[in-house]
Amino acid sequence: MKIGENFVRENLTFTYLDPFHNFEKKETHLEVRKDPITETISRVLPYRFRIYERPSVEDYLKKSPPEKCPFCLPQRDLLTPRFPVEINPEGQFRKGEAVCFPNAFPHSHYNTVVVLGNTHYLGLEEMKAGLLMDGLQVCLDYMRRMFQINPNLQYASINWNYMPPAGGGLLHPHLQTVMGEGPTVFMGKLLSKSREYRMTTGRDLWVDYLAWEKEKKERYVGRGEGAEWLTAFAPRGMAGEVVCILPEKLSLTSLADADLASLSKDLLRVFKYLNSINLVSFNLALFGTMVEEPLFPVQGRIIPRYLIRPLDTSDVNYFEKLHGEVICPFVPEDMAEGLKTFFHDL
């Protein structure tokens, strides 16, 4: 069985009388795509989508000035939680300007916040690889410590809601970590598919998937500083989905400083691309296990987010929330071509 045979495309045609052309009959085409790995169904609209207006950061800054931000100094030292002494005697994990502390509004039993630096707002064009690396490193420092305390915490992720359209409650850039004795739903699905593929084919799902994408040359962007980059066949976001896989890294604990430095540089390339097309908000997750999992390499997903003008409507609608399917006017193959220009020098 070839892996590509299970990636399904169904072409649909919608017919209507066009009021802009004397009500002549017009046909519009779209694709329904089904990804067998993520089990995502996306309705891809193959016409070029344009974001006409760049969001105004000034509006956000007026609502959230630095003097009211709990992540800015000096408020941060007074308003953010600390770890118990048995986890960290200093109450926080620090690396450079990155600071990790417990989430005051936790989403899970092991949930932290990692503040990225002392600057209240950083645009995508202002991000620095060193700061991203420090943030990733301090996440791993916390995870390694918790795994040392409780070896049952075998599943973990590093997450980022960047800016309000992505659910970011504060402008100050910050990551979040999640750990658990079991995986989250999406990570569990990927793990299950990995094991199922090995049982039915005797092969490695991610090796075959990457080989297929490289052969197709439609969504594969390239190998960056340390990861393989591509766009998702059936995106889980209305503005597409960027995928990275670190095929040689089989646990989060195996990530060395050099790996984090490379990944940070790669992320800057993605951010520059998104910024160039006025996508200035995103959700990011980096998934992995704490012990080596031969069938599941460390991997990440980035889903750009935006508000639809002129009413600032959410990009999440009934198809996604209530039907479990995604409307995506960003064609994955076009997105991959755009990303390639930011990886061309590798």
Helix/strand/coil (H, E, C) string of the chain? CCHHHHCEEEEEEEEEEEHHHCCEEEEEEEEEEECCCCCCEEEECCCCCCCCCCCCHHHHHHHCCHHHCCCCCCHHHHHCCCCCCCCCCCCCEEECCEEEEECCCCCCCEEEEEEECCCCCCCHHHCCHHHHHHHHHHHHHHHHHHHHHCCCCCEEEEEEEECHHHCCCCCCCEEEEEEECCCCHHHHHHHHHHHHHHHHHCCCHHHHHHHHHHHHCCCEEEECCCCEEEECCCCCCCCCCEEEEECCCCCHHHCCHHHHHHHHHHHHHHHHHHHHCCCCCEEEEEEEECCCCCCCCEEEEEEECCEECCCCEECCCHHHHHHCEEEECCCHHHHHHHHHCCCCCC
CATH number, domain 57-312+331-340, options 3.30.428.10, 3.40.50.300, 3.40.50.1220, 3.40.50.720: 3.30.428.10
Q: Are 284 and 300 in contact (CB under 8 A)?
A: yes
Q: How many CA atoms lie within 13 A of 123 on its CB side?
A: 16
End-to-end CA distance of the chain, in Å? 33
Q: Are 42 and 29 in contact (CB under 8 A)?
A: no
So what's the pLDDT on residue 66? 93
pTM confidence score? 0.94
Q: Are 226 and 244 in contact (CB under 8 A)?
A: no
So what's the pLDDT on residue 51? 64
Q: Return the number of other C-beta atoms located less than 10 Å from residue 248's C-beta.
A: 11
Q: Are 344 and 336 in contact (CB under 8 A)?
A: no
Dihedral of the CA atoms 220, 224, 228, 234 (nearest 10)?
A: -40
CA angle, residues 319, 320, 325, in degrees to nearest 5: 75
Q: At what angle do helices 257-276 and 129-149 cross, to 10 degrees?
A: 130
For the chain, give every domain's residue range: 57-312+331-340
So what's the pLDDT on residue 291? 96
So what's the pLDDT on residue 346? 58
Q: Measured over all CA atoms, what is the biggest interatomic distance in the chain, rounded to whole angstroms?
A: 74
Condensed to tens digits (0 to 9), the pLDDT of residues 109-159 reads 899 999 999 999 999 999 999 999 999 999 999 999 999 999 999 999 999
Q: Return the number of other C-beta atoms located less than 10 Å from residue 345's C-beta.
A: 6
Nearest to 12 by CA among 56, 43, 49, 36: 43
Q: Return the number of other C-beta atoms located less than 10 Å from residue 204's C-beta.
A: 18
Q: What is the mean pLDDT of each run of 10 residues along the chain (346 residues)?
A: 84 92 91 95 80 78 91 94 96 96 90 96 95 97 97 97 92 96 96 96 96 96 91 95 97 96 96 94 97 96 88 81 84 94 81
Say which residues have a Cβ less than 8 Å from residue 52's Cβ, sequence separation at least 6. 309
Strand partners, 99: 94, 115
Alpha carbons 203 and 269: distance in angstroms, whole number: 32
